């Protein structure tokens, strides 16, 4: 890859080609839990822009530029009152739409406030995440992904900071080959006590541990299928002459993916640029079985991340917890049991922005190459004034369903039918998905 192409696909500031593309979509801006009832105001940075997210007395969300348009004071320290966010410097008041409601220091009868319109963006909440639309015109409709249509009790949302460019963080999520090495455990783990942790379950329709599959079958066959939401990724690992392990994951254009967590749970994850050298992963865990045990999920993740910035406890400053003795006998990386730590090391060690001019892609990197082509197509569509992939109206959004996501043991000669049949069973037996069957 040439250096100019690497710049094109990694930079997401307001004036950049990829940044213009990213702004055509709803992007996660914060977790709902980051706006506590006592003072629901939060300074955020998203796609390189410094903003303030707030919830007014009526429960409406607003997202406005952090600098007050009067004299540039920081609105993150403003007061929530009188229907909006009031600057503490001179009392200028702004509602969720960026309208200036009052300029109280001005002379009686002044109409200055009617001439002021502060930069603001539409905001919507979906199952624990506050999304923002920062693009032109009317926002697109939300696709009917499982994570959006599932009842709130069947979902759990969280996030974590990653100290590198968003693209390399996304690419690890659509790289099926790395799991056999980066996430290799030399002993199998029981699912008991490992609720909601990836690769700790058994595969669907079998008692085979995921850790064993990843460890014993490091040469997967990888295939991609272009879809109306991005692409489907099918990874096969032959178990024996008659059976194959099949893992179906999905790239949700432009910057999300959905992977199986267990036979009953999936995780949909966005890699969201803070700026060009930092990003947050935002995830919605979605259960097709029982309601999610939110306390257990949150408790485990707070063992790994610190508030209020959701930064990982194991990081570059402490060598990601690396232990040479552990690397010899317990885990491939020597960095503990949590695969988020493994991924964090892998992508952060590539540098703030990976120099792709120095990489050498192989056959196992098929999904990476496909995604980069789709990303460049989207950038080119926006530059040409065309509507890019996944910018949806309501009718199209209702047709974007699922997507089907699983891992299981299938017959070698029937794996194509197996993954569809598995999802049909899961939806039929689910407490909520039966109301939203895939066609």
Q: 172, 347 in Cβ contact below 8 A?
A: yes
CATH 3.90.380 range(s) for the chain read: 144-435
CATH of domain 144-435: 3.90.380
Per-residue pLDDT of 32-49, as tens digits, reads 999 999 999 999 999 999
Q: Which residue has the tokens 């609720």?
A: 195
Q: Supply the pLDDT for residue 42.
A: 98
Q: 231, 224 in Cβ contact below 8 A?
A: yes
Per-residue pLDDT of 71-110, as tens digits, reads 999 999 999 999 999 999 999 999 999 999 999 999 999 9
Q: Supply the pLDDT for residue 212.
A: 76
Q: 42, 140 in Cβ contact below 8 A?
A: no
DSSP assignment of 192-245 equals TT-TT-TT-SBPBTS--BHHHHHHH----EEEEEEETTEEEEEEEEE-SSSEEE
Looking at CATH, the fold of the domain delimited by 26-133 is given as Rieske Iron-sulfur Protein (2.102.10)
Q: Supply the pLDDT for residue 322.
A: 93
Element (H, E) at 112: none
DSSP, collapsed to helix, strand or coil, labels residue 81 as: strand
What whole-number distance in Å separates Cα of residue 132 and Cα of residue 124?
Answer: 7
Q: Supply the pLDDT for residue 397.
A: 97
Per-residue pLDDT of 303-322, as tens digits, reads 999 999 999 999 999 999 99
Q: Supply the pLDDT for residue 437.
A: 84
The model's pTM is: 0.94
Rounded to a whole number of angstroms, the CA Rg of the chain reads 23
Q: 277, 252 in Cβ contact below 8 A?
A: no
DSSP, collapsed to helix, strand or coil, labels residue 28 as: strand
Q: 269, 281 in Cβ contact below 8 A?
A: yes
CATH 2.102.10.10 range(s) for the chain read: 26-133
pLDDT per residue rounded down to tens, the chain (439 residues): 799 999 999 999 999 999 999 999 999 999 999 999 999 999 999 999 999 999 999 999 999 999 999 999 999 999 999 999 999 999 999 999 999 999 999 999 999 999 999 999 999 999 999 999 999 999 999 999 999 999 999 999 999 999 999 999 999 999 999 888 888 887 766 665 565 566 556 666 666 676 777 787 889 999 999 999 999 999 999 888 898 899 999 999 999 999 998 888 999 999 999 999 999 999 999 999 999 999 999 999 999 999 999 999 999 999 999 999 999 888 888 998 888 999 999 999 999 999 999 999 999 999 999 999 999 999 999 999 999 999 999 999 999 999 999 988 889 998 989 999 999 999 998 989 888 888 6
Residue 61 token pair: 């969300």
The half-sphere exposure of 250 on its side-chain side, counting CA atoms within 13 A, is: 21
């Amino acid at each position: 890859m040439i250096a100019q192409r690497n710049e094109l696909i990694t930079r997401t500031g307001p004036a950049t080609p990829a940044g213009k593309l990213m702004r055509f979509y709803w992007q996660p801006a914060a977790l709902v839990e980051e706006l506590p009832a006592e003072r629901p105001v939060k300074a955020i940075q998203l796609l390189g822009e410094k903003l303030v997210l707030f919830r007014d007395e009526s429960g409406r969300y607003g997202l406005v530029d952090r600098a007050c348009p009067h004299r540039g004071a920081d609105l993150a320290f403003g007061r929530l009152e009188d229907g909006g966010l009031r600057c503490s410097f001179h009392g200028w008041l702004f509602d969720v739409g960026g309208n200036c409601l009052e300029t109280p220091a001005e002379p009686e009868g002044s109409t200055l406030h009617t001439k002021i319109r502060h930069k603001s963006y539409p905001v919507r909440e979906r199952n624990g995440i506050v999304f923002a639309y920062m693009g032109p015109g009317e926002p697109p409709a939300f696709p009917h992904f499982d994570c959006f249509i599932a009842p709130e009790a069947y979902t759990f949302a969280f996030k974590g900071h990653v100290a590198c460019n968003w693209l390399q963080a996304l690419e690890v999520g659509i790289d099926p080959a790395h799991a056999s090495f980066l996430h290799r455990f030399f002993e199998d783990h029981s699912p008991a006590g490992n609720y909601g942790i990836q690769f700790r379950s058994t595969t669907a329709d079998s008692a085979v541990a995921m850790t064993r599959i990843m460890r014993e079958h490091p040469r997967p066959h990888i295939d991609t299928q272009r879809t109306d939401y991005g692409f489907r990724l099918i990874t096969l690992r032959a178990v024996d002459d008659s059976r194959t392990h099949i893992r179906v994951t999905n790239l949700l254009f432009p910057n999300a993916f959905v992977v199986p967590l267990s036979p009953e749970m999936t995780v949909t994850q966005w890699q969201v640029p803070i700026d060009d050298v930092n990003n947050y992963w935002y995830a919605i865990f979605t259960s097709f079985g029982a309601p999610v045990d939110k306390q257990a999920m949150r408790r485990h993740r707070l063992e790994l991340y610190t508030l209020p910035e959701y930064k990982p406890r194991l990081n570059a400053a402490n060598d990601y917890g690396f232990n040479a003795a552990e690397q010899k006998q317990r885990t491939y990386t020597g960095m503990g049991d949590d695969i988020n730590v493994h991924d964090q090391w892998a992508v952060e060690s590539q540098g703030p922005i990976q120099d792709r001019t120095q990489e050498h892609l192989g056959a196992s990197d098929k999904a990476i190459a496909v995604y980069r082509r789709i990303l460049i197509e989207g950038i080119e569509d926006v530059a040409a004034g065309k509507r890019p992939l996944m910018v949806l109206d309501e009718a199209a959004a209702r047709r974007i369903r699922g997507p089907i996501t699983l891992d299981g043991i299938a017959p070698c000669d029937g794996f194509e039918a197996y993954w569809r049949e598995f999802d049909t069973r899961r939806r039929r037996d689910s407490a909520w998905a039966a109301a939203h069957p895939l066609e």
